Amino acid sequence: MTQQALRLGTRRSKLAMAQSGQVADAVRRVTGRPVELVEITTYGDVSREALAQIGGTGVFVTALRDALVRGEVDFAVHSLKDLPTTQPEELALAAVPEREDPRDVIVARDALKLTDLPRGARIGTGSPRRMAQLNAYARSHGLDFETVAIRGNVDTRIRYVRDGELDAVVLAAAGMNRIGRSEEVTDFLSVDTVLPAPGQGALAIECTADNADLVAALGELDDPFTRVAVSAERSLLAALEAGCSAPVGALADLLADGQIVKEMRLRGVVGTTDGSRMVQLSTTGPVPETHDQALALGRELATEMLAQGAAGLMGERAQ
């Protein structure tokens, strides 16, 4: 008797389909069951508004979660950076697999690196976080470029460069790797230059909380280090009371001595989109052993950032 296929809810974009396909392969391995992809269109996919204008939070997630609750799919795969920081009680974040490269990258004309871009170069991004940090970097390094608000999938963004409308566009390294286009990257942006979005490069696998067998099976794909890192980053975001379209960057990384992981460092940044004012802080402590410890690390750093005026920098949205 053939086992019933597990239905995996995914967005329709090429990137979402690629990362969901990779998760489907892993779920087949751990469960021995067939997995079929169910394509779902989300509000964020059909709206042409800038993400900062439509609020950002949950626009790519809500339709997938609704399908889960209605029983139309068994589990769903999200880019973790798209998830609202509050987890609904009826859904379980069953697994956070090992994270891809969290960095941002640029795809520029003539294979240029960020520091090689000519004066007045136009760099496209839909992210207030990227704008804020790129503009701050330009100010502090005597560079002269303009950030231009754009939307669209990877193909659309890269086409702006190929067609000569923009000199460069900013994308996530993880996405370029997952769709097999990393050879088009012309520069990897150091996290010292641009801190990624909280949870960037990580995936979230969700199912209904009452499906204990599936929660346990999907849990086989969980990477504990990735989970504590993204939990700390998302806790920082939540404590700043910022949505996923706010100009907030965060990264938790593990500091190792040889093969032994000793500590976790959490870095956070908030800035105005023109890069004129930034609050950037970090904290280092023991690697959290529990979810609550990871959340506490994020809250502590957020408290310090708020004390330095971070809240006043987040009211701005990309115009």
**Which residues are known to be catalytic?**
82
Helix (H, G, I), strand (E, B) or coil at 62: helix
- CA-CA distance, 95 to 112, in Å (whole number)? 38
Measure the CA–CA gap between 83 and 202, rounded to whole angstroms. 11
Tokens 């800038």, residue located: 50
Tokens of 102: 């969290």
Find all residues with CB under 8 Å of 178, minimum gap 6, and list them.
15, 18, 19, 22, 100
Give the single-character DSSP code of 87.
P
Helix (H) / strand (E) element for 89: namely none
Residues ≥6 apart with Cβ < 8 Å to 94: 75, 205, 206, 207, 214, 215, 218, 219, 222
Consecutive H or E run containing 75: strand 75-79
CA nearest to 172, candidates 239, 235, 105:
105
